[in-house]
Amino acid sequence: MYNIIQHTHSGIMWIAVAMLFLSVLLATVILIKKKEECFAKREKIFKFTKWLFYFQAVLGIVLLFISEKVHFGEGFMKSKDLRFYGMEHPLMMLIVIAFLAIGLFKAKKKANSLHAIRTILIFYSIALLIVAMMIPWKAVLA
């Protein structure tokens, strides 16, 4: 069971990161080309990206309970790896999800305009930056 969830979590990571990168790229192109009324057309892509991260969070929360890399016992904060998997990675990824959810929510309020796309660009870019920093690349590429 642990193996299935761990492999799914690290496999979906690639799709989630690719979709987040695509969302940022798409928002940038729309802004450069000043294509008004493009938010509604592309909203499904931004939403799908957000849902991929929600899914990752569900798997990640399960992993917090069953992962062999997570122990909240003595010395938890002193060990770099235990601190990363038990606290830094989950906490920062939750912040990423907040950025995606708030970004999309705020964009929707700005109706179908370039302002909505600009909001997506800002919030999703910050999310992408945090994700790139908080993925355990050593474990992924090992």
Q: List interacting residues with ligand HEM (CB under 6 A).
A: 6, 9-10, 13, 16-17, 53, 56-57, 60-61, 63-64, 67-70, 85, 89-90, 93-94, 131, 135-136, 139-140
Least distance CB 109 / ligand HEM (angstroms): 25
Give the tokens for residue 117.
Answer: 């796309």
Q: SS3 letters for 42-102?
A: HHHHHHHHHHHHHHHHHHHHHHHHHCCCCCCCCCCCCCHHHHHHHHHHHHHHHHHHHHHHH
Q: How far is the CB of 34 from ligand HEM (least distance, A)?
A: 31
Q: What is the DSSP letter of 110?
A: T
For residues 92 and 122, which CB has a smaller minimum distance to ligand HEM in the complex? 92
Q: How far is the CB of 60 from ligand HEM (least distance, A)?
A: 2
CA 26 distance to own-chain centroid = 17
Residue nearest to ligand HEM (CB): 60
